[in-house]
Amino acid sequence: MQNKKLYIRLISATAFMLSSVLFTACSTSKSSVEKKTPEPSPTDSVKEFVPLHPPVVVPHSWKDAK
């Protein structure tokens, strides 16, 4: 009977310790993520899009299978 009570107390203490460690770890990681959030990049001042290369055209005949 004595061992059963000791076992229950040990399990309860372990569960409490693990839940507090998990809570602390989650709250710490969440606060560090909020601090490391990158700032949004500024919008481009160019109104028209200028392509960086010419369009790629692959010659095909209408008889070619897809």
DSSP secondary structure letters along 10-66: HHHHHHHHHHHHHHHHHHHHHHHHHHTPPPPPPPPS-SS---SSPPP-----TTS--
pTM for this model (two decimals): 0.41
pLDDT at 11: 93
d(CA 51, CA 5): 75
Mean pLDDT of the chain: 78
Question: Residues 4-21: pLDDT tens digits?
Answer: 889 899 999 999 998 888
pLDDT greater than 70 at residue 34: no
d(CA 7, CA 15): 12
Banded model confidence at residue 37, pLDDT cuts 50, 70, 90: low
pLDDT greater than 90 at residue 23: no
